[in-house]
Amino acid sequence: MKHRIVVLGAGYAGAFAAGNLARRLSSADTEITVVNAVPDFVERMRLHQLAVGQDFAFRRLADVFAGTGVHLRLARVTGVDPERRTVAVTGEDGNGELAYDTLLYALGSSVAHHGVPGVAEYAFDVTGLSSALHLRERLAGLGEGGTVLVVGEGLTGIEAATEFAESRPDLSVALAARGELGAWLSPKARHHLRQAFDRLGITIHEHTGIEAVEPTQAIAADGRSVPADVTVWSAGFAVHPIAAASGLEVAETGQIVVDRTMRSVSHPDVYAAGDCAYAIGENGRPLPMSCASAGFTNMQATAAIIARLTGGKVPTTGLKYYGNHISLGRRDAIFQMVDGDVQSKSWYLGGRTAARLKSGVLKGAGWSIAHPTFGMPKRKHRLATTPDQAGVKIAA
């Protein structure tokens, strides 16, 4: 029997990992299946652009994995049973169950409501394709002078607010920040950010926690009403409760607790990558939920899976951040260098040069996903023959 590898999710972490596994492992004794709810590879870092009316031709996953030997199952994951080593799914073909020998859990994250009243009912977000399209429809119907409030001063909030303001100058765009806008940036980068907000006419509500969302306004912690025909919630991310419900060991965040190789500390047949992995970086702190973390963790997870299956030495890949890259519309951006403690250095890059760099990063990420077999070795690795306790062919 072939060793069955199942990858849950085909975002930045899952899609790249599946392609890498197919590139490195021989199909003679491995079978790779990717489970994803939608047929396209969704570039999450572009969803705020999609929401404001810009058009993209997202790549079909069937085309991405064509010729790789990867099996694509379009379905939604409803449960994981790590004791039986099965995944429950539902889709157009009805309910089903997939068995695995090695599982790579990469289901990502969604918007975190934090229990704030009205967010689920009235707020929009850009964390998924369906939610971004829902927001796109709402913004398209918003006439001149309409008010848009972005809640959250993180990277997603800043990118969304600046994109909306640049693409729709007829709207009144504001951002609500719990603290100071860009407080983590170096002084010069922070000044650049504020200049961009001023140039785009974005109103900043600093030290303003939002405690309720209503159809045409948001209510601040001090009782103030902030006008909002559309409230876009970008106040953090949350993972799906499937991992916690499965019996895998998870952190308080619901993320799967993994070791340095992205292997579940409670179930060695399970690996996690991306936002759903509770991984400790080289600075001793948990990696933040981000695209960069998806890159670090999926590279480490795939390297570990390949090494253990083929009897090689498990390598360790870097888990260190070098900077934050923030788009400020299409013609401006900030690249902020950070140190080992993820504290901003004095140097930063801004303006059109930084915008071109960010565009190159996005195009590079998309290209690598679309060409999973690029650089494929002429001879792939075969599995080792040392059986584990379950009888699966895996390296000791």
Instruction: Read off the pLDDT of residues 331-389 as tens digits, 9 standing for 90 and up.
Output: 999 999 988 777 899 889 999 999 999 999 888 888 777 777 665 555 578 888 643 43
In a domain, 374, yes or no: no
In the 8-state DSSP scheme, what is residue 328?
Answer: -
pLDDT at 321: 79
In a domain, 333, yes or no: no
Element (H, E) at 277: strand 277-278
Q: Are residues 85 and 123 in the same domain?
A: no
Q: Are residues 172 and 83 in the same domain?
A: no
Q: Are residues 256 and 227 in the same domain?
A: no
Q: Are residues 119 and 219 in the same domain?
A: yes
Domain stop point among 181, 208, 233:
233
Angle between helix 352-370 and 12-24 (nearest 10):
50
CA–CA separation, 22 vs 18, rounded Å?
Answer: 6
In a domain, 349, yes or no: no
Q: Are residues 245 and 199 in the same domain?
A: no
* Sheet with 217-220, side-by-side order of all strands: 210-214, 217-220, 225-227
In a domain, 315, yes or no: yes
CA–CA separation, 15 vs 168, rounded Å?
Answer: 33
Task: Find the domain containing 122 and state its range.
Answer: 114-233
Written as one letter, the residue type at 383 is L
Do 85 and 5 contact (CB within 8 A), yes or no? no
Q: Are residues 294 and 187 in the same domain?
A: no
CA–CA separation, 49 vs 167, rounded Å?
Answer: 9
Count CB neighbours of 388 within 10 A: 14
pLDDT digits (tens, 9 = 90+) for 167-198: 999 999 999 999 999 999 999 999 999 999 99
Terminal Cα distance for the chain, rounded: 19
In a domain, 268, yes or no: yes
pLDDT at 392: 37
Count CB neighbours of 126 within 10 A: 29
Which residues are CB-neighbours of 343 under 8 A, at least 6 positions away?
Answer: none
pLDDT at 48: 97
* Burial environment of residue 389 by CB neighbours within 10 A (0 to 12, 13 to 18, 19 or more): exposed
pLDDT at 388: 44
| Percent of the chain topping pLDDT 90 | 79
Q: Which two tokens stand for residue 109?
A: 């994250």
Q: Are residues 71 and 94 in the same domain?
A: yes
Q: Are residues 229 and 130 in the same domain?
A: yes
In a domain, 326, yes or no: no
Q: Which two tokens stand for residue 292?
A: 């960069």
In a domain, 67, yes or no: yes
Residue 187 sits in a domain whose CATH number is 3.50.50.60
Q: 0.75 exceeded by the pTM?
A: yes
pLDDT at 395: 35
Residues of the chain with pLDDT under 50: 386-396
Q: Are residues 118 and 217 in the same domain?
A: yes
Domain stop point among 233, 266, 295:
233
pLDDT digits (tens, 9 = 90+) for 74-86: 999 999 999 999 9
Tokens 């969302």 correspond to what residue? 213
In a domain, 363, yes or no: no
DSSP helix/strand/coil, 369: helix
How many structural domains is the chain composed of?
2
Angle (nearest 5°) at CA 348 between 343 and 351: 140
Closest by CA to 343, choosing from 358, 321, 375, 326, is: 321
Domain stop point among 233, 264, 287:
233
Q: Which two tokens stand for residue 254?
A: 């619901």
Q: Are residues 99 and 122 in the same domain?
A: no
Count CB neighbours of 353 within 10 A: 11
Note the helical H segments in the chain.
12-24, 47-51, 61-64, 119-122, 129-140, 155-167, 187-200, 242-246, 291-310, 352-370
Closest by CA to 257, choosing from 294, 292, 291, 287, is: 287
Closest by CA to 136, choosing from 240, 72, 48, is: 48
Q: Are residues 185 and 219 in the same domain?
A: yes
Q: Are residues 158 and 92 in the same domain?
A: no
Closest by CA to 230, choosing from 131, 135, 127, 162, is: 135
Element (H, E) at 88: strand 86-91
